C-alpha cells in the first residue's frame, strides 16, 4: 500500500437520539445519528413518526397538500 494516502482510523462512539451508544472503528470521531437499530421501526416492529426539522410540513406547504 502507498504511504500517506489513507485517512486516519479512530475508535469512535456513535450516539443515537434515543440514547443508545455503539463503539466502532471509523475515519470520523464521535458521530451522532437520529435513528438506530434500537429505535428504527423495521427492527422494533412499532410504527414511529420521525420528522427532523419539520421536513414533512415544509413539503406539504410547498406542494399545497394541507
Distance CA 45, CA 39 (A): 9
The full set of domains in the chain, from first to last, is: 10-62 (4.10.80.400)
The answer to pTM > 0.85 is: no
- Residue 14 confidence class, pLDDT cut points 50, 70, 90: very high
CA distance 45 to 20: 18
Question: Is the pLDDT reported for residue 51 higher than 70?
Answer: no
pLDDT, average across residues 15-36? 90
- pLDDT for position 50: 62
Amino acid at each position: 500500500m502507498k504511504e500517506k494516502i489513507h485517512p486516519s482510523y479512530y475508535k469512535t462512539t456513535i450516539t443515537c437520539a434515543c440514547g443508545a451508544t455503539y463503539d466502532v472503528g471509523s475515519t470520523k470521531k464521535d458521530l451522532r445519528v437520529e435513528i438506530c437499530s434500537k429505535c428504527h421501526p423495521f427492527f422494533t416492529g412499532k410504527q414511529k413518526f420521525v420528522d427532523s426539522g419539520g421536513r414533512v410540513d415544509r413539503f406539504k406547504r410547498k406542494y399545497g397538500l394541507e
